[in-house]
Each structure stands twice: as structure tokens, then as C-alpha cells.
Amino acid sequence: MKQFLPITKEEMLERGWDRVDFVYVIGDAYVDHSSFGPAIISRVLEAHGYKVGIISQPDWKDEESVAVFGMPRLGFLVSSGNMDSMVNHYTVNHRRRQMDYYTPGGKIGKRPDYALTVYCNLIRKKYKKVPVIVGGIEASLRRLAHYDYWSDKFKRSVLMDSGADLLMYGMGELSIVEVADALASGLPVEELTFIRGTVYKTRDISTVVDGIVLPDFDSMTADKLNYARSFDIQYRNTDFITAKPLIEQYGEKRYVVQNPPQRPLTTQEFDDVYELPYMNDYHPSYEKEGGVPAISEIRFSLSSCRGCFGACSFCALTFHQGRIVQARSHESLVREATEMTKHPDFKGYIHDVGGPTANFRRPACDKQLKSGVCTNKQCLYPKPCKNMVVDHKDYIELLRKLRKIPNVKKVFIRSGIRFDYMLADKDDSFLRELCKYHVSGQLRVAPEHVSDHVLDLMGKPRNEVYQEFIRRFDKVNKELGLQQYAIPYLISSHPGSDLNDAIALAESIRDMGYIPEQVQDFYPTPSTISTVMYYTGVDPRNMQPVYIVSNPHEKAMQRALLQYRKPENYALVKEALLKAGRQDLIGFDRHCLIPPRPIDHTKGKNSSGKTNSGHNGSGRKTGGHTGNGRKYSEKQGNGRKVPNHAGNGKNTKKSK
């Protein structure tokens, strides 16, 4: 009979265990679902015969909170959860978030800042010599020295600050079994220096074979450009075939060594991981607190792939999962979807079939599994590589099988659709089926910007590529007799973007008639190329200088420009336009962004006392329509004003 893993000593004893092999301390609520990393790792261990107890969100002020199961036989595993704890806690403006979707009832404050380090120090305080192994996104992206946006400091590897013995990076299914087997065989944790996908501390690097010595921590602290050089080396060493061990020195004869990544899972291994006996729900003890909000996003979604060769500069996927795309079999996904339909809350809708990029279902080219990914060029940027195999047939076939499952009414795609990859396919069958069956009025895509030099820094296709996609998307919808729209995700203040670029983005918003209620300001998270740009002022790939928006006021102006119609943004928008010498955009003509004086929306008059005459902030007649004639409703189920024909509005997840 399937059951949750024990979270109390009583539950452990009920299973007939007198001790657990591993205690897993996590910063999230305990959700036993394959979308949650701790659930996967614990179930993989269970499948290999290990006993795991879960301590979720312990009281970090009380060392007894990590002693629920006593001393584990083999060690503690520690993860901050599905998100970096600082991203979980704070907005890009350093404001405290009002909700934690991974905590019962959505309550904030159930985990500490820098949770990984705090939990490890708590364990060390209680148990001096027990092995401590860290993993998850916070460990993976902080595995070597890194810039920390929230403290505005250059920090050491989290392995050094946490006091942990070993760090697992990437997805970890293969690494954790090797670690567990080695510890079970009697090897001390300090001798686990040979496992792929791990990082360890040492005072002796003489046994590291073919390693690359990175700039040491002190030199990177003294000169940011040394960090840029170091990160470029790290970024080129993320492939399981070509990567070398990386060595980072701290002070006198103290080193952190990163082993090459674990190999990609085979299709059978991938299937096996996702067909372990998950309960597919949060622990029932959370019911009285209202459950765990995050489950609603993933309960009826399918993870079909992992890895991404899109390699956007602001995304850490390459650094975490790698560029080799791995995919589950159709049979495994159909079995999971069929089981999903038996859930009492299933209404007939599969919310997503995808992963980092939904329409990637195979490696970019055949040579990647033999020779590794290219270290000197990208698969899609600046243009699709001539060796890339573009084929949507497998994904189309999978979606057709899922649509035929009894009681399935609709299969949505909410993961990212890489539109430049789609355009590279000479066969438009996928685009047609996407529009006909898998979009609910809106398709969210991510051009991110309109200025080509900013897009170059982002590693994204140029604006003309996005415009071509929109033309083809609209053409197909017209042929199908459907009213559907592509809703773009846009980023303000990305490295390289100045006020003129932000104004160009605002003009694009004006021309498309899109009213963004939510705008993504660039968020410098650990271990992305864009964050290195933000911190160092150069592109680590070529060491060329990059314009950086670090002044909070300029960031506010760029953000305001993307929402120039909001009355509260008027002063910032006007200041930005005047500073950039774009007075031509202040007035009552159709091309203008704002009128000369702010509108008094409470009285229907502007500040000079003249009647607004039905104009919005740009001086256009609104009449319930946007500038391009598309009518918009005031309903904002996903936080944005959306076309009033947009179906059920479920397509809300960010695309790549």
C-alpha cells in the first residue's frame, strides 16, 4: 500500500523501523509529488532499499527540531526546497513577499533566509560528526563562489559557509544512489571525492585528474573581472562528456572541487523515476491549515522532458539541468495521465505537458550524446545551428495520445514554447495543432525585449524572428477560425537595456495594444550569465563592457515605462521621456505614451481641469478597446487584463 514517508518518530516506529538511514530536512512543506525535488530524491532512495524520514520546515531557532528521528544511520540530507530561499522570500525590490506557495496555508516566514546554510549549521550544532549532504536548487546554483544579490556581496561556495560535507548539483537521481551506497559500504564521507554531480572540500588536490584551476576566491573578490573569467570556464564545463573537474581555492590550501555532471537519464530511467509510488499530494497533516497552494499548479500537469538547449542568459537551467534534453516515453506519460483522470478533483483538463521548454523532446543534434554539447557556440543563438535536428513529430504524437484518453476534455501546454525552434521546422503541423487543441485563447511566449542588442545579451532570437512567429500564429488562427492571441513576457532593466531601450519596449506595447498588469524586472539570481553581467559590468563570454542598471530610480523608470498607462507611474514615465529627449511621446497624438499633464481619474478631468473626453493616458479614444482595436475585459484571473475571448484563462505559466 502506498503511503507517505514518515514525518514523526511515531510514524517511523509504525513501519517497524527503529532508525532511519537518512533524515531529509527541507525548507518546503512535504509534498510527495514528482514536481518536488525532495520527493524524487527520497523515493529514489526508498526504491534502493534506504529508509528516509522527512523533517519539513524545522524551527531553525531550536536544535531539537532536527532531532525528530534521532541520529540517522548514514547522514542528513538538506534542501531549501523547490526555490532558492531568497527568491522565495523577496521581490527584486527587496520587498518581503506576502505568500509562500510551498508552505501550508501560504504562510510566509516558515523558513529562514539562506535556509540551506541555516539548516546545516543547526544540524552541526546538534550532531557534530554526522555526514551532511546538501542538494536542490539553492545548493546547485551556489556550488561555487557567486554573487549574492540580496546582500550585494560576493560569497563563497555554500559548501564552505554551510559546513556541509558534500554537495550534489543538478537533478541528482544517479548521484544520490552512489552517495548512499558508498556511505552504506562504510566509506567515510570525506573520501567521497569520485562521484559525478558532486562538489567536495579538500586540502589536497594532487589526486584531481585533468582539473581546471579557477581564479581563487581572494582574487575574484579583489577583481570582479576574475569572477567573469571564472564563470565563463564554469559555463563551458556543464556537459557530462566534455566537462573537466573545476578547482576553486580558498585561503591557504583549502579547496572546493566540482566533479563533472552526472550523465543524463535514459528514457527507461526517466520513466522509472516518475513512476515511483508518489502520493501526488501534500501530507494530510497540512489539511487543517488549508493545504499547500503549490499543488494546484502541478497536480494535473505532466513532466515530459528536462534539460534545455535554449540557453537564455538570464536562466540557470544550463547550469543546473544541462543542455542535453531527456524525455519520458509516451507509455509512461499516458499511464500517469490515465491515473490522473481518476482523481476526484479532475475536471477533464490536463494543465500542462512539458518541462523547461515544452517542444524540446530530443537532444539538439545527434552528436551531443557521442561528443557532448559544443562549448564554443549555442544551438539556437544567434541563429539555429545547421546541425540541429528540428522535429515536432514525437511531441505531436504524444499530445494526440493524451487527447484520446477517456475523460480528458482538453490538454493545455503552459510550459515554454520556443518559437524560434518552431519556426525552424519546415512542417507547420505542430503550430496548427497547438492553435487548434492546446491554447485557451492566449499563448504565452517570451520574446523578452524588442531591442536587438539587448536580445543578443539575453541569448534570445532577434525581434524580427518573434514578429515572424506572430504573423504565422495569427495566420494559422485565422485559417482555423479562432480568436487567439500571443501574450508576450517582457523583462525590464536587463543588462544592456538603457532608457532608450525601455522606451522602445513601451512603444512596442503601445503598438500591440497589450496592457501588462505584471512586469518582470530583471532579477539577478545566482549562477546565470545575466547576473554575472550585472555584477561585473561585462559579458563573461567575450569580456566586453555591458550597460548595467543598478540605480534603483532608473530601474523604477524602466519598469514604469512598461506600464505607462498606470496613473501612479505618470511622474516616472514623464521623467524618463524627458531625460531621454523623447518629448515627442508626450502629448495627445496616437503615438504618444502620456499626455502633458496627468489625468485625474477620480473626476474624469486632467490636472488642468479639462475633461478627459474618453481618452486614456496616451490620448487615445478607448471605448472599451485598446489601440489595435482588440476589446479587453476587466477580468484578471491571472493578474493581467486579458482579451475577453480568452477562454478559461488557464494558460498562465511562463514560456521560454
Helix (H) or strand (E) holding 246: strand 246-249
pLDDT digits over 48-83, tens only? 999 999 999 999 999 999 999 999 999 999 999 999
Residues in contact with 639: Cβ distance below 8 Å, sequence separation at least 6, in sequence order = 517, 518
| The residue count for the chain | 656
Same-domain pairing of 462 and 346: no
> Per the domain annotation, does 409 fall within a domain?
yes
From CA 409, how far away is CA 437, in angstroms rounded?
Answer: 10
> Per the domain annotation, does 190 fall within a domain?
yes
pLDDT digits over 198-229, tens only? 999 999 999 999 999 999 999 999 999 999 99
The dihedral of CA 4, 181, 74, 36: what is its sign?
A: negative
Which of 182, 200, 218 is where one domain is finished? 200
Same-domain pairing of 420 and 456: no
Same-domain pairing of 397 and 476: no
Residue 515: per-residue pLDDT = 73
Which amino acid would we find at residue 598? P
- 605 — pLDDT class (breaks 50, 70, 90): very low
- Region 593-620: mean pLDDT is 55
Q: Are 310 and 316 in contact (CB under 8 A)?
A: no
The DSSP letter of residue 567 is G
pLDDT digits over 14-23, tens only? 999 999 999 9
Same-domain pairing of 182 and 167: yes
497 strand-pairing partners = none
Same-domain pairing of 174 and 81: yes
Report the range of poorest mean pLDDT among 115-129, 403-417, 627-641. 627-641
pLDDT digits over 399-443, tens only? 999 999 999 999 999 988 999 999 999 999 999 999 999 998 899
Same-domain pairing of 70 and 104: yes
> Per the domain annotation, does 102 fall within a domain?
yes
Same-domain pairing of 382 and 493: no
Residues in contact with 611: Cβ distance below 8 Å, sequence separation at least 6, in sequence order = 604, 605
> Per the domain annotation, does 557 fall within a domain?
yes
Residue 183: per-residue pLDDT = 98
Torsion angle, CA of 282/284/289/295, rounded to 10 degrees?
A: 20
Same-domain pairing of 431 and 364: yes
Instruction: Give CB contacts under 8 A, 24+ apart, made by 445-448.
Output: 445/417, 445/419, 445/469, 445/486, 445/487, 445/488, 445/489, 445/655, 446/416, 446/488, 446/489, 446/654, 446/655, 446/656, 447/419, 447/488, 447/489, 447/490, 448/312, 448/489, 448/490, 448/491, 448/494
Indicate left, alpha or beta for 291 from its phi (over 0: left) and psi (-120 to 50: alpha): left
Residue 265: per-residue pLDDT = 97
pLDDT digits over 443-498, tens only? 989 999 999 999 999 999 999 999 999 999 999 999 999 999 998 999 999 999 99
Q: In terms of residue numbers, what domain contains 528?
A: 441-656
The count of domains in the chain is 3
Same-domain pairing of 397 and 451: no
Same-domain pairing of 484 and 402: no
> Per the domain annotation, does 28 fall within a domain?
yes
The DSSP letter of residue 589 is S
Same-domain pairing of 474 and 343: no
From CA 35, how far away is CA 307, in angstroms rounded?
Answer: 15
Helices (H), 57-199: 85-89, 115-126, 137-140, 158-162, 173-184
**Which residue has better confidence, 606 or 627?**
606
- 517 — pLDDT class (breaks 50, 70, 90): low
pLDDT at 638 over 80: no
Report the range of poorest mean pLDDT among 197-206, 311-320, 341-350, 608-617. 608-617
- Region 392-402: mean pLDDT is 98
CATH code of the domain containing 626: 3.30.750.200
From CA 141, how far away is CA 527, in angstroms rounded?
Answer: 5
Which amino acid would we find at residue 177? V
Same-domain pairing of 373 and 493: no
CATH code of the domain containing 363: 3.30.750.210
> Per the domain annotation, does 114 fall within a domain?
yes
pLDDT, averaged across the chain: 91
From CA 314, how far away is CA 524, in angstroms rounded?
Answer: 8
326 strand-pairing partners = 306
